[in-house]
Structures are given as structure tokens and as C-alpha cells.
Amino acid sequence: MIVREIVRTCSNPHVAHAAVASIGGDFARRFFRDAESRSLPSGLLAARLVQDFDHRAGDGDWAGLDRAIRGADMPILCGLRHILERAPKMKGDDLPARPAGALRKAAWGEERRSCA
């Protein structure tokens, strides 16, 4: 299942950094600035947010991710962007060192956006 592949691959900070860079454009610039403002490497921030999604996303979040990547030319990049755009706004010190399953699932939201 491709949605699980997104989580598996993008939980690695090196892969996550390369994937965000590959998405490019304004999205990548904003994400890199956000990571810098938190004093975190961008790959580590992305990987933590992906891991956090894996542990607290509800069924609707997974379904939204599946819908977002369906038919995409680059589903892993599209899926990563989908996850990162919906990540709860947390300060750097609020990010879990390890995924925290007890966090509220509702913080992710289920609104679908295009991958463009």
C-alpha cells in the first residue's frame, strides 16, 4: 500500500529532506524556513511529523491521504506534502522525540488539498 510506503520512507530524515527539496517551490522554501526557525534540520522535522501522523492519524486522515495521492504522477512526494501541510502547528520543543500515540487525532484535520 503506497500510503504506508510514504510513512516508511519519509520517516528517515535524509529521505524526508530530499523529498521536500524535490517538491520544491514555495512549499519547500516555507518548510525549510519553518524548520530553521525551530532550530531543527528540515529532514528531521519532516520525518518527525510523518512519524507523528503515522501514530495519531485517524481513518479519515488515512483515507484523505489515499485520495490525495490517487492518480498522482509522484505519489510519495504528493503524499508527503499532504501530510506536512496538515501537520499541527507545533513549536520545535513540542515535537515528539518519538511518535506520541496519545496525542489527539483530530489535530490533523481531514480537508483535502491538491498536490500542486
Range of the domain at 38: 2-89
pTM higher than the cut 0.85: no
The angle formed by the CA atoms of residues 47, 62 and 16, to the nearest 5 degrees, is 20
> What is the domain count for the chain?
1
The answer to the question of residue 96 being in a domain is: no
Does residue 24 form part of some domain?
yes
Assigned domain for 107 exists: no
39 in a domain, yes or no? Answer: yes
Residue 115 located in a structural domain:
no
Has residue 99 been placed in a domain?
no
Angle at 35 between CA 80 and CA 79, to 5 degrees: 5
Per-block mean pLDDT, blocks of 10 residues, the chain (116 long)? 93 98 97 95 97 94 95 96 85 48 36 46
Biggest alpha carbon–alpha carbon distance for the chain: 36
The answer as to whether 110 is a domain residue is: no
- Give the residue carrying C-alpha cell 501537520: 87
81-109 confidence digits (pLDDT tens): 999 999 975 444 555 554 433 333 333 44
